[in-house]
Structure 1
Amino acid sequence: MTSNQILLITGANTGLGYETVRSLCQSSTAYTILLGGRDMTKAEAAVKQVQAEFPNSPSTVKPIQVDIEDDTSINKAFEKVSSEYGYLDVLINNAGAQFDPLIASGKLTMREAWNKSWDVNTTGTQIMTYTFVPLLLKSSSNNGPRLLFITSGTSTLTEAEKGMLWIDQPAPKGWPKEPMRIGLGSYRSAKTGMNMMMREWVRILKEDGVKVFAISPGMLVTGLGGNPELIKKMGGLDPTIGANFVKDVVEGKRDQDVGKVIRRDNVQPW
């Protein structure tokens, strides 16, 4: 058993998830951080890396295998956390992926890409959450149990209608359209679905005192889109900026915006 806050983050061996672990390790608050990864070897390597970087951190980082596309994996992770700790204070649903570029390259059919996008970004996240909620409800943290979903700035219907992003600009007349003009339909649709899923969990857990958020971290230079250099040229931010934002939400600095999709500086419109 431990007196630390128990925090589980999925997809945490790389990208924003890993940077969030790094950010939490630099906090004065002591956490037991369960670094989730599909591949246990990669999760273990990430843990060793962060332990070497922050040997004096008050927090403890441990690897845990969890693949949100696999119900058996999710259930095994639940049993592990349940038996070792008996509760969970924070669940960060970070695992996600873009599959739209794989349609253009011919690596996935459109149906495969769309199904996989929803399976990873929405369905898998729903099942992960549903499975772990009983442990969140056993939290006795003074900060209150927290349920976080990592969403996307591309998921807002309001701004899409206003054409505020390059992917919202009309494609030139004619067919076929260039792959770039086809956009990220499966990814952003799945994340928009996640936003409503978040609202459902707000409703379901309101009387239980669970603080639920969707976090829109901004365009970050990670491997999510498959081309970090291109993202950087497009103005992508250092992922540590997004990670520090996630840490701030964990530590209660945006509690006035509970139940909403939040950005670092404002509330993202629906």
Structure 2
Amino acid sequence: MSSSKDIVFITGGNTGLGLEIVRALAASAKAYNIIIGCRTPSTGDAAIDTVKGELPDTASSFSVVQCDLVSDESLEAAIQRIGEMHGRLDVLINNAGSSFDGELQQGSLGIREAWNKSWDVNVSGTQVLTTLAVPLLLKAENPRLLFLTSGTATLTETESTATPTLSRINASPAAGWPKSAPAGFGPPTAYRSSKTGLNMMMREWTRILKNDGVKVWAISPGFLATGLGGVGAEKLKQLGALDPSEGGKFVRDVVQGKRDQDVGKAIRANMIQPW
């Protein structure tokens, strides 16, 4: 049941940044036992086939576990399955998340529904999964716990317009009511608020697990051209988004110990993200 390879569980590992994390780890000289968590197992199987096709000589091994952040039953079964397969968990990468601001701005979701869904997926579901996974993490020699946050979640930078992205999301609309969202891609208000909450949750886990030797971070991967929010990768690239592979490599670096000096912080590839 046990393996000499580090056991790495990546939620939302079948697409977007999650898949790029899988790719980056699989391309490493170090071998991992990579578990892809996803709502539909067949999409995880397809992701594995893709990575194996791209990296036929990878030393890593792969498996899929069904994992839906809005279902406690699914999360309980996922952790039970990992325990049965491996008996421990070396790295939990809480990558899965969603943005519902686009649906709110388009009118397909109401305010309460969009905000509740944002927090349910990005915060509550992640908290439940992490709580369930802790006993397996504590069985590892060098456990690591990563939460994927956002560069839009920093409170300090809500007053900044120093970059095009900050200028866009922090701009104040014209006077009057109702306020209209900018055409095409409005500020992700519910999403960024939930990720600010996630940062506090990370700080709590840092406190809770400090004496257990678990290294904890919030990873701010940068503005990446993924499918998050349903805007489309090409539109995001036009707005200055980077290739998602950059985020995958960054997360791999954290898993491999290159940011151990920044435990307990929200970190970017080149700096500590301000709170």
In the superposition, the TM-score normalised over structure 2's length comes to: 0.95
1:206 and 1:194 map into 2 onto residues whose CA distance is: 18
Which of 228, 248, 252 pairs up with 2:253?
248
Which of 201, 204, 208 pairs up with 1:204?
208
* Structure 1 counterpart of 2:51: 50
* Structure 2 counterpart of 1:4: 5
CA deviation digits over 1:195-235, x for unaligned, max 9?
A: 00000000000000000000000000010031222110010
Deviates most, 198-207 or 166-175: 166-175
Q: Write the letter of the residue equivalent to 2:45.
A: E
Alpha-carbon deviation of 1:183? Answer: 2.1
* Structure 1 counterpart of 2:238: 233
1:70 and 1:51 map into 2 onto residues whose CA distance is: 30
Alpha-carbon deviation of 1:51? Answer: 1.5
1:46 and 1:32 map into 2 onto residues whose CA distance is: 15
Alignment partner of 1:28: what SS? coil
1:104 and 1:244 map into 2 onto residues whose CA distance is: 33
Which of 156, 169, 172 pairs up with 1:170?
172
Alpha-carbon deviation of 1:250? Answer: 0.2
Alignment partner of 1:179: what SS? coil
1:50 and 1:230 map into 2 onto residues whose CA distance is: 26
CA deviation digits over 1:52-95, x for unaligned, max 9?
A: 22121010111111011110000000110111111000000000
* Structure 2 counterpart of 1:161: 159
Q: How does 1:28-39 map to 2 (within 5 A)?
A: 28-39=29-40
Alpha-carbon deviation of 1:163? Answer: 4.1
Q: Write the letter of the residue equivalent to 2:61.
A: T
Alignment partner of 1:178: what SS? coil
1:190 corresponds to 2:194: yes
Q: Write the letter of the residue equivalent to 1:159.
A: E
2:130 and 2:114 map into 1 onto residues whose CA distance is: 23
* Structure 1 counterpart of 2:268: 263
CA deviation digits over 1:149-192, x for unaligned, max 9?
A: 00000000001133441211111111121123962111000000
* Structure 1 counterpart of 2:121: 120
2:182 and 2:255 map into 1 onto residues whose CA distance is: 36
1:218 and 1:18 map into 2 onto residues whose CA distance is: 16
Q: Write the letter of the residue equivalent to 1:87.
A: R
Q: Write the letter of the residue equivalent to 1:162.
A: S
2:41 and 2:132 map into 1 onto residues whose CA distance is: 20
Alignment check: 8 A CA contact 1:202 1:212 kept:
yes
Alignment check: 8 A CA contact 1:51 1:61 kept:
no
Which runs of 5 or more residues in structure 2 are unaligned?
none
Deviates most, 53-62 or 180-189: 180-189
Q: How does 1:74-93 map to 2 (within 5 A)?
A: 74-93=75-94
- Percent same amino acid at aligned positions? 55
Alignment check: 8 A CA contact 1:92 1:148 kept:
yes
2:50 and 2:72 map into 1 onto residues whose CA distance is: 28
Count of equivalent residues:
267
Alignment partner of 2:228: what SS? coil
Alignment check: 8 A CA contact 1:117 1:190 kept:
yes
Alignment check: 8 A CA contact 1:16 1:242 kept:
yes
1:242 and 1:34 map into 2 onto residues whose CA distance is: 18
1:186 and 1:224 map into 2 onto residues whose CA distance is: 13
CA RMSD across the alignment: 1.1
Alpha-carbon deviation of 1:104? Answer: 1.7
Alignment check: 8 A CA contact 1:220 1:238 kept:
yes
Alignment partner of 1:171: what SS? coil
Q: Write the letter of the residue equivalent to 1:154.
A: T
Alignment partner of 1:124: what SS? helix
After the TM superposition, which segments of 4 or more aligned residues of structure 1 sit over 3 Å from their partners? none
